[in-house]
Each structure stands twice: as structure tokens, then as C-alpha cells.
Amino acid sequence: MNRWLTIALVTAVIGGLLWFSRSYLDVSPEEIRNWILGFGTLAPILFITLYALRPIILFPASVMSLAGGLAFGALWGTVIIVIGATLSAAIAYLIGGKLGSRLIKVKEGGKTATIQKQMAHNGFVYVLIFRFIPVINFDAISYIAATAGVKFRAFITATFIGIIPGTFAYAFLGSSFVTLNPWQIAAAVAIFLVFMIVPILLRKKTVRQNRPGRRRRECA
């Protein structure tokens, strides 16, 4: 339920900002896109650099991804965002490895502790699953993976693969705000929801399969 509430809030905030900018600030999505693309051939490089440094400047990954789709379109936006997000995850992982408990507070039996144990058991699989879910805090997963001892190669590979579907959903949603075509926005939201539901179901199935009681029965 919390995830659905998050999706609804994000959609409402984005829609509200677009309405406010058009009604009162006279700033259209086209102008935002043109501002980013005004850097010419350097625009993708600057965007990737800013995205990579995002964990340091504490800027939301979702906003950056929507901006990437708005500026570069669904296809090239996905490519550019994936590169920036992967570099961003690597930086967050290194920060998590250095600062550890200062960033992540782990309470015994809490949600963070559960995720940490899951990643310690099978880092690649669980990082992959969590990356498939686009509304989960991007940096938190990087920090937890680092503190759980997930190998960097497994972490970065799972991140690169796992963020592609959600990134496309964000980029497609961002690109739809240029035209404000209601059918395109509806399709973008539908794609976003699909990429939300499937990973959640997959995670629940994986958790059930990896329960100690089930593994003991299978080994008996």
C-alpha cells in the first residue's frame, strides 16, 4: 500500500508542478528541455556527470530520470540515464562502504536488517530485484549492499541490468510531458505500474523459496 501511495504522490506532484509552471510561471516542459539541450553536444556528458554526482549533492534520482526523459526522449534518455545512474550507484556504494553505519541505521528485526540479510545471502539476486522496483530509494540500496558485503562486481552488474526497465518507464514518462498527450501519459503510467508490480511479486516468490523451513524440506 505504501508503494502505491508513493506512486500516486509522485504523479500528483509532477502534474501539479506542470500545471503551476504553465499557469503562473509560464515555464513549459519544452523550455526545460531546451535549457538542458542548450549545452549542445555537451548536454549528455553534463547530464551523466550530474547524475553520477547526485548522491553527493543529495538530489532525487527519480527527478533526474524524469528530466533525462524530458530532455533526451524515451530511447536516448534511457541510455543516458542508465549510464549516469550506474555511475551514481557505484559512488553511493563506495560511500556506503566507507561510512556504513553512519548512513544506515539497522534495527534487529527491522526492514533494513531483513534486506541486509537477504543481500548477504544472495547479493546479485536481491540487488537485481530491488533495482527492478523504480520507487525504492536508489541510494539506500547501494548503501545497504555495501554494508552487507555484496561484491562490487555483482552489485554493479545487477544494478546495470536491474535499472533498465524502470529507467525506460521514467524516461518514457518524462518524454510524455513534452506534448502532454493524455494517451501517451496514460501509457507511460501503465508501463511504470507494470515495472512496479512484477518485481514485487518476484521478490515475494524469491523470499518464500529461500525461507529456511522450505530449504530444509527440499534437502530432506
Structural domains counted in the chain = 1
What's the CA gap between 167 and 74, in Å, rounded? 9
Amino acid at 120: A
Is residue 153 scored above 80 in pLDDT?
yes
How sure is the predictor about 211, in pLDDT bands with cuts at 50, 70 and 90? Answer: low
Q: Which percentage of the chain shows pLDDT scores above 70?
A: 70
How sure is the predictor about 218, in pLDDT bands with cuts at 50, 70 and 90? Answer: very low
pLDDT of residue 33: 76
How sure is the predictor about 67, in pLDDT bands with cuts at 50, 70 and 90? Answer: confident
Give one DSSP letter per residue of 41-62, joined into a string: GGHHHHHHHHHHTHHHHT--HH
How sure is the predictor about 26, in pLDDT bands with cuts at 50, 70 and 90? Answer: low
Burial (CB count within 10 angstroms: exposed 0-12, middle 13-18, buried 19+), residue 189: middle
What's the CA gap between 145 and 127, in Å, rounded? 7
Residue 187's contacts (CB-CB under 8 Å, 6 or more residues apart) are: 172, 176
More confident residue, 44 or 7: 44
pTM for this model (two decimals):
0.74
pLDDT of residue 93: 94
Is residue 216 scored above 60 in pLDDT?
no
Angle at 54 between CA 115 and CA 10, to 5 degrees: 70
pLDDT of residue 219: 45
pLDDT digits (tens, 9 = 90+) for 159-202: 999 999 889 988 988 888 777 778 877 887 787 777 777 766 76
How sure is the predictor about 215, in pLDDT bands with cuts at 50, 70 and 90? Answer: very low
Calculate the alpha carbon distances from 128 to 96, 141, 147, 152, 170 in Å: 18, 10, 17, 13, 18
Residue 86's contacts (CB-CB under 8 Å, 6 or more residues apart) are: 156, 159, 160, 163
pLDDT of residue 162: 93
Amino acid at 195: F
Query: All 3 cell numbers of residue 175?
Result: 518524454
Q: 11 lies in which domain range?
A: 2-219
Calculate the alpha carbon distances from 50 to 101, 130, 212 in Å: 26, 23, 43
Mean of all residue pLDDT scores within the chain: 78
Cα 148 to chain centroid distance, Å, stands at 20
Tell me how many helices (H) and strands (E) the chain has. Answer: 12, 0
pLDDT digits (tens, 9 = 90+) for 90-138: 999 999 888 866 666 655 556 777 778 888 888 898 899 889 887 778 8
pLDDT of residue 110: 65
Give one DSSP letter per residue of 116-162, joined into a string: HHHHHH-HHHHHHHHHHSTTS-HHHHHHHHHHTT--HHHHHHHHHHH
What's the CA gap between 119 and 136, in Å, rounded? 15
